[in-house]
A and B are shown apart, each in its own frame.
Chain A
Amino acid sequence: MSAFLAMGGHGPFIWAAYAVALAVLGGLGLLSWRGYRSAQAEVARLEAMARRGRS
């Protein structure tokens, strides 16, 4: 296990590369999901107001 983590002495570079990729892509995924949910909520709010305005 420690040999696997050490990666022939290059462990810090290799694991840092995987950590950066996870942080950047995971972060973008999280932000995209939150943006999607808030856009959904905004449309629902405006549609409800439009319905009230019409009746």
Chain B
Amino acid sequence: MADLLNRYANPGRFMRASARVLPWVLVCGLGLTLAGLGWGLGFAPRDWQQGDTVRIMYLHVPAAWMAMGLYLGLGISAVLALVWKHPLAELAGGAIAPVGAAFTVVCLATGSLWGRPMWGAWWVWDARLTSVLVLLFLYVGYIALSGAFDDARRGTRAASILALVGLVNLPIIKFSVDWWNTLHQPASVTRLAAPGIHVDILVPLLVSAAGFLLLATALVLLRLRTEVLLARARALQEARVARAASVEGAPA
């Protein structure tokens, strides 16, 4: 484990590996997303109760999965940053948080546009919706806190602690539909019994979710590459300042 961690802690190795896989991840992600969404919009059957509005699900459900999955990634990178001071993990949180926040916004907005025709309300303060709103605030809080310190590493440490505390929100989101009365429907894909969803709807949903997963991965990789470059720029800048100071301080 420690050996594996060390191998991928090297930013140079990460930059070479990510440059190679990023274009493929992006192209496959775009292709699968277009296929899944096109299938969902044009060919999948309408729901017997919800009519065509069920087509919003092909966006809403994968976006919700990404919002939660990316938060799990944020929590894991926070542990690696706090406990092992893993250099890539210290940068990874800053790359993941904006992507997670964007998918959470998509989840909330599409849910609202689905709730209005089906429930008669854009928004209700029930457990599922509120806990996903809290997830958005956790992402925004992480971004704000990590930028609130002059020393980037202190900011990362403070934000990582917030990310860890916020992990309790993930099971709350997941089980909110079972623990509390809610308008939101319970899980229909990730059930221990067979999924309660017809295969004609399930397959395009999974294709779209695979596309979203690859798109999220591509965005995180691109942003992590940016973070590595910015860290290098900071180091170069500091070296320049130190050199200038030593030249000025040298006796004539």
Please report A residues at the B interface, Cβ cutoff 8 Å. Answer: 4, 7-11, 13-14, 16-18, 20-21, 24-25, 28-29, 32-33, 35-36, 39-40, 42-43, 46-47, 49-50, 53
User: Which of A16, A20, A21, A35 is most buried by chain B, counting CB atoms within 10 A of its CB?
Assistant: A21
* Pairwise interchain contact A10-B52, C-beta atoms closer than 8 A: yes
**Residue of B whose beta carbon sits closest to that of A38:** B226
* Pairwise interchain contact A13-B236, C-beta atoms closer than 8 A: no
Among the 9-residue stretches B146-154, B168-176, B227-235, the one with 4 or more Cβ atoms under 8 Å from chain A is B227-235
The answer, yes or no, to whether B131 is at the interface (CB within 8 Å) is no
* Pairwise interchain contact B225-A14, C-beta atoms closer than 8 A: no
Number of A-B contacts (CB under 8 A): 95
For residue B230, which residues in chain A have a CB less than 8 angstroms away from its CB? 39, 42
Choose among A18, A21, A39 the residue that contacts B233 (Cβ–Cβ < 8 A): A39
> Given the interface contacts A8-B52, A10-B117, A13-B117, does A28 sit within 8 Å of B98 by beta carbon?
yes
User: Which DSSP category, helix, strand, loop or mixed, fits chain A's interface?
Assistant: helix
For residue B223, which residues in chain A have a CB less than 8 angstroms away from its CB? 32, 35-36
**A–B Cβ pairs within 8 angstroms, 5 of them:** A9-B51, A10-B52, A14-B53, A20-B109, A28-B219
* Pairwise interchain contact A28-B109, C-beta atoms closer than 8 A: no
> Given the interface contacts A35-B223, A40-B229, A43-B236, does A20 sit within 8 Å of B55 by beta carbon?
no
The answer, yes or no, to whether B85 is at the interface (CB within 8 Å) is no
Q: Indicate the size class of the contact surface on chain B.
A: 35 or more
The answer, yes or no, to whether B158 is at the interface (CB within 8 Å) is no
For residue B42, which residues in chain A have a CB less than 8 angstroms away from its CB? 4
Shortest CB-to-CB span from A51 to chain B, Å, is 11
> Given the interface contacts A39-B230, A43-B232, does A24 sit within 8 Å of B105 by beta carbon?
yes
For residue A20, which residues in chain B have a CB less than 8 angstroms away from its CB? 106, 109-110, 113
Q: Mark B54-88, 1 if CB is under 8 A from A, else 0.
A: 01100110010000000000000000000000000
* Pairwise interchain contact A17-B215, C-beta atoms closer than 8 A: no
> Given the interface contacts A39-B229, A53-B240, does A16 sit within 8 Å of B219 by beta carbon?
no
* Pairwise interchain contact B63-A21, C-beta atoms closer than 8 A: yes
